[in-house]
Amino acid sequence: MTPALAPASALVIAPHQFPDLEREAALAAEFGLDLVVCTDQAHFTEQVARARVAMITPYATVGEPEVAAMTAARGIVRYGIGYDNIDVAAATRAGVPVSIVPDASSEEVASHALALGLALLRRIPTGQAAIADGRWAGAVPADLPVLSSACVGVVGMGRIGRHVARWWQALGADVIAYDPFASFNDVAAADLDTVLTDADVVSLHVPLTDETRHLVSAELIERMRPGAIVVNVSRGGLIDEAALADALRSGRLAGAGLDVFEAEPLPASSALRDAPNLILTPHAAWKSRSSIAALQAGAVERARLFLTGEPPRDLVMA
């Protein structure tokens, strides 16, 4: 018979890819907790009942069963800003607060988005493919938008979106932005449909919710500016990937830069894998020589607040 798990006796870490867990181990030792480092989703689901605090990466899901098991947990900490792998509504109902770390890699993610957009605006993947296929400059279209006359649409003006908008402006582009929850006056505001359909480059910086899932749909793509570019460094579910692949193959869209996908790692069967004019990176936009340490330190700081009973930071609720 499997022994009963001691409730709320551990700092439970979801499956991770960090170089080490020295900060987390020190925190667990300070509060007399076991450090439980889970190897996969099944192991996490089995151990989460022990969590006084559960620390969540993108590699585990906190659904209704996990929340129900956390009967004595003081909180959930999500490494990073995205929390679509946590059932926040269930956690809220259960009285388990959820805290995120929104500021560990804003500059890194924004610079990644800018780099993808610039590379695609200049059709660099097209040029690289031309050389690989034994062709030359004639394979690159001559009707590229000039940067100073390009329109960049930023969807979401949080920390990352603001960086992106400001940098595109500094390069001379005309920037328009949409965010129903943020106030800004340094960029021209427009309604969502205008931002999505008028821009040469659409850069997505919003969370994945029921309202934003497949924001870039087949229907929306048909209304976008012909030859437009889509950049997504936020969440894969914002884009209908099959519709995007079709639009790239038909030439309806000129390119796309994606760091996030509906299923990760990207399945071998994904329609995106053989689509043209596409830059794919493996959910790595957040990485830098300092971001991993900042992310772990921020998560440990928030876990400490839960453990000491101090007011938590950066809470999210359904």
Residues identified as active-site:
235, 264, 283
* Cα–Cα distance measured from residue 35 to residue 26, given in angstroms and rounded to the nearest whole number: 9
Check if the beta carbon of residue 110 is closer than 8 Å to that of residue 282: no
DSSP state of 236: G
* Cα–Cα distance measured from residue 209 to residue 307, given in angstroms and rounded to the nearest whole number: 29
Adjacent-strand bridge partners of 203: 154, 231
Closest CA to 163 of 79, 107, 83, 223: 107
Across the beta sheet with 75-78, what order do the strands follow?
34-37, 10-13, 51-56, 75-78, 98-100, 315-316
3-state secondary structure (DSSP) of residue 151:
strand
Which H or E run contains 255? strand 253-258
The alpha carbon torsion through 230, 233, 239, 245 (nearest 10 deg) reads 60
* Cα–Cα distance measured from residue 37 to residue 46, given in angstroms and rounded to the nearest whole number: 12
Tell how strand 151-155 and strand 188-189 pair up: unpaired
Give the sign of the dihedral formed by CA 259, CA 289, CA 80, CA 6: positive
User: In Å, how far are 85, 107, 212, 243 from 88, measured between CA atoms?
Assistant: 9, 26, 16, 29
